[in-house]
Structure 1
Amino acid sequence: MSRSAVLSDSQWALIQPVLPSSTGRAGRPFRDDRHVVEGIIYRYRCGLPWRDVPAEFGPWQTLWKRHRRYSGEGVWDEVLSVLLTDADARGLVDWSVSIDSTINRAHQHAANLPRDTGAPSNYTNLREEPADHAIGRSRGGLSTKIHALVDGHGRPLVLLTSPGQAGDSPMFPYLMDQLRIARSGAGRPRTRPERVRADKAYSSRAIRAHLRERGIEAVIPQPSDQIGHRIRRGSRGGRPPGFDRDDYKNRNVVERNFATFKQWRGLATRYDKLAITYRGGAVLRAITIWSKALIGAHSH
């Protein structure tokens, strides 16, 4: 297999029917979809400038425009949604989910657009480019965070981006709101996991109350300052929250998910100027992960 090989025929058979060229949408059909999609994947896998993607994938301008369009119109999200529906119907989705974030350095090519660092981001409309382009200044310089909600096997269900200095806890409700896996038959989409595993950064009354109200088990340890505050209050501090220490050991799947993501150099370092296209690359990575899982299930 050549170094430029990207998608297997089986993977393409899962992805291609959801793309605009196959769903009868208005506009001129894209006959070169596979080459272009593979070129986009190749670019993120290798971390190349768009101009340096091998000519065998087609003109670099076409790759960029198609990725910008598919990211902005939610096509990549739609493809991932279809794959998740199929995976859930086959029992492949483990609903004991984990949440965390990873911080990625923004290359100088990604950070040369004007940005409003004080503007609030709209995480309910993923097609709208945030005013800060999801780039912020943290200890390591300009950076972006990828926030992920993964299933019990570490496969991504929801992906969001934020500036690098943003906290993890405020992103929790947005990640949970985006968790919607449609049923293959009749019925409303599934939105409620069995349990949520998260580290101490997510230990807050609001998050625990949110999970408790929805009947979701919280597997979240308390930081030492919260423990000390409760003890100092005595009986008024209430009982300590339940915590399954053995189950918490399974949270490492989210860390392994990030290790898998960062095998794509274009995600480990952000080269994209737009948050929409950078997140689109992350969703595309999730598409390749789930398509492989579905192919594995078919073969068995």
Structure 2
Amino acid sequence: MSRTSVLSDEAWARIEALMPLASAKGGRPFRDHRRVVEAIVWRYRTGAPWRDLPAEFGPWQTAWKRHRRFSADGTWDRIHAELLSAADGAGKIEWAVSVDSTVNRAHQHATNLARSAGGPSNYRNLFAEPGDHGVGRSRGGLSTKIHHLVDGRGLPLVILVGPGQSGDAPMFPVLMGHLRVARPGRGRPRTRPDRVRGDKAYSSRAIRTHLRSRGIAAVIPEPSDQIGHRKRRGAKGGRPPGFDRDDYRGRNVVERSFNQAKQWRGLATRYDKLAVVYRGAAVLHAITLWLKRLGDTP
């Protein structure tokens, strides 16, 4: 295998049939899908500019345009969803999920678009470019956030991108709303995990009520300010929420998932101007991880 070859024959065979055949109905058929996909993976893994793609990958414009198209038309998400369905059918998804986010610096190449037009991100339509482009100003400067909902072994189930200064708690119901894993054959998709592990940023009455109403165990510690407020209210403050300290130790898998994602330098630092393109790369990274798990022996 050459240095630029990034997909095994077995991995490519699993997703080849899921790739679109043509750009549009009646349009010219796509060619060299594997070479283009490997070019996209190589670019984000190294963080190199598109124009610096090795010649063996073909024209850099082809790789960029196809990645832009597949990010916006839902191709990457459909492949990700198919792999999740296959993994669930094989019993390779652990439904004790964890949630968190990571802040990544936005390079100056990603921040030279005017943001006066349009509003904040619309997380119902993941394939439309938001007015803020998923870039915001936080303590470290212009930055962007990747939000993950991962399974019990740390592989992403849901991936969202937002501005760096956005809070984690408001994104939680959005992440849960996008959790849909189709079951092999007939039946409704699975949308309810067994439990959710989150840090203190997700400790809110709304989140706990949401999980309780759906019969999902909340493994979320209570921050000191909430503990003090509850105690000051006396009997009206209610009982402290249940918290399984031993189970909470499993939350570190979401931190490790971000460590894995940041092995791709094009994700650790955002160079993409468009949020939909940057998120597409994060979904593609998740695809490569699920391909590896599906290749595991039982």
TM-score range, shorter chain: over 0.9
The equivalent residue for 1:136 is 136
Paired residues of 2:98 and 2:150 also in contact (CA < 8 A): yes
8 Å CA contact 2:118–2:130 kept in 1: the answer is no
Equivalent residue pairs, number: 298
Q: What is the Cα deviation at residue 248 of structure 1?
A: 0.2
> Structure 2: where are the runs of 5+ without partners?
none
* Cα separation, 1, equivalents of 2:108 and 2:245: 42
Preserved contact between residue 23 and residue 29 of structure 2 (Cα < 8 Å): no
Residues in 1 aligned to 2:242 and 2:167: alpha-carbon distance in whole angstroms: 24
Give the equivalent residue in structure 1 for 2:75.
75
- Alpha-carbon distance, 1:27 to partner: 2.2
- Distance in 2, matches of 1:255 and 1:117, equals 34
Classify 1:142/1:31 alpha carbon distance in 2 versus 1 (closer, same or farther; 3 Å): same
Q: 1:17 touches 1:23 (CA, 8 Å); kept in 2?
A: no
Distance 1:24 1:125, change over 3 A: closer
Q: 1:146 to 1:108 in 2, by over 3 A?
A: same
* Cα distance in 1 for residues equivalent to 2:253 and 2:43: 26
How far apart are the structure 2 equivalents of 1:236 and 1:215? 24
SS in 2 for 1:148: strand
| Counterparts of 1:121 and 1:162, CA distance in 2 | 7
C-alpha deviation, 1:143, in angstroms: 0.4
**Structure 2 CA distance, aligned partners of 1:85 and 1:11?**
16
Partner of residue 244, structure 1: 244
Match of 2:179 in 1: 179
Deviation larger for 87-96 or 111-120: 111-120
TM-score normalised over the length of structure 1:
0.97
Distance (Å, rounded) in 2 between the aligned partners of 1:204 and 1:88: 30
TM-score (norm 2): 0.97
Deviation at 1:22, TM superposition (A): 8.3
CA root-mean-square deviation: 1.4
- Residue 89 of structure 1 is matched in structure 2 by 89
Structure-1 residue corresponding to 2:195: 195
Counterpart AA for 2:152: G
Match of 2:292 in 1: 292
Runs ≥4 residues deviating over 3 A:
22-26
Spell out the pairing of 1:35-114 with structure 2 (5 A cutoff): 35-114=35-114
Whole-Å Cα distance in 2 between the matches of residues 26 and 262 of structure 1?
Answer: 39
User: Cα distance, 1:296 vs. partner?
Assistant: 1.3
Give the C-alpha shift of residue 26 in structure 1.
Answer: 4.3
Q: Aligned letter for 2:150? A: V
How far did 1:187 drift? 0.1
Question: Is contact 1:270-1:278 (8 Å) kept?
Answer: yes
Structure 1 unpaired stretches of 5+: none
**Identity %, equivalent residues:** 68
Aligned in 2, Cα 1:87/1:22: closer, same or farther, shift over 3 Å? farther
